[in-house]
A and B are shown apart, each in its own frame.
Chain A
Amino acid sequence: QVQLQQSGPGLVKPSQTLSLTCAISGDSVSSNSAAWNWIRQSPSRGLEWLGRTYYKSKWYNEYAASVKSRITINPDTSKNQFSLQLNSVTPEDTAVYYCARVDYSTSPLWGQGTLVTVSS
């Protein structure tokens, strides 16, 4: 059974970098049929897809236009996990962040969520 376990700080100061990690069990971050996503949810923006990473003979990343200049999603094959980095955060980046496996091959699977507050 595939499980996703999120970790990372719940409080980030404005202008700093938000960093979260999603550890995968029961599957491989390098799977040719999987895509590993980050999604966030806030009262003002609703559910918002941020980006994904996936492997099909080489690594690919895709990002939402709204965060493209500030976001990096990286796979870590040695630890079987993937991470989110969001630079130059503002209070508008306050949200619950979810990692998720969402792809064509199977049903979507979400992590438990991490509330990240941007405040000084």
Chain B
Amino acid sequence: DIVMTQSPDSLAVSLGERATINCKSSQSVLHSSNNKNYLAWYQQKPGQPPKLLIYWASTRESGVPDRLSGSGSGTDFTLTISSLQAEDVAVYYCHQYYSTPQTFGGGTKVEI
């Protein structure tokens, strides 16, 4: 199984400042045939389902603000919130769907 390790577990960021969340996979999630990383990022607020933010490691889902961005390839990935807003307070998860069983990071709680 591919193990997804997120860091940090939590972080506190001032409004308008940058937040960076890391996700490391124990094996590459890069598909060599099409050069796509099967890595997604989600935002979850209390009582709500996970909301897709980023897929293929760096493709922003429609409607997601451009202050949220994903980067990385292979085994190392980053979700960046360039200028934290109050509505960004949530738990963030990474998810690999390169191979089964699909696996998830443990989550990063972002606070102000």
Q: Do A and B come from one complex?
A: yes
Q: Which residues of A contact B (CB under 8 A)?
A: 37, 39, 46-49, 52, 62, 64-65, 96, 98, 102-104, 107-113
Cα A103 to Cα B99 with chains together (Å): 10
B38 on the A face (CB < 8 A)? yes
Q: Are A107 and B61 in contact (CB under 8 A)?
A: yes
From residue 76 to 112 of chain B, which have CB atoms closer than 8 A to chain A? Answer: 93, 95, 97, 100-104, 106-107
| A102 close to B52 (CB less than 8 A) | no
Q: Chain B interface (Cβ within 8 Å of chain A)? A: 31, 36, 38, 40, 49-50, 52, 55-56, 59, 61, 93, 95, 97, 100-104, 106-107
B61 touches A46 (CB 8 A): no
5 smallest CB-CB distances across A and B, nearest first, come from A47-B104, A49-B102, A107-B55, A113-B49, A64-B101
Most chain-A CB neighbours within 10 Å: which of B40, B52, B59, B102?
Answer: B102
Report if A49-B100 is in contact (Cβ < 8 Å); known contacts: A104-B31, A107-B52, A112-B49: yes
Q: Which residues of B contact A109 (CB under 8 A)?
A: 52
Q: Are A108 and B49 in contact (CB under 8 A)?
A: no
Within 8 Å CB of B97, what residues of A? 102-104, 108
- Return 21 A-B CB contacts under 8 Å, by A number: A37-B102, A46-B107, A47-B50, A49-B101, A52-B100, A64-B101, A65-B101, A98-B50, A103-B97, A104-B31, A107-B40, A107-B52, A107-B56, A107-B61, A108-B40, A108-B55, A108-B95, A108-B97, A110-B50, A110-B52, A113-B49
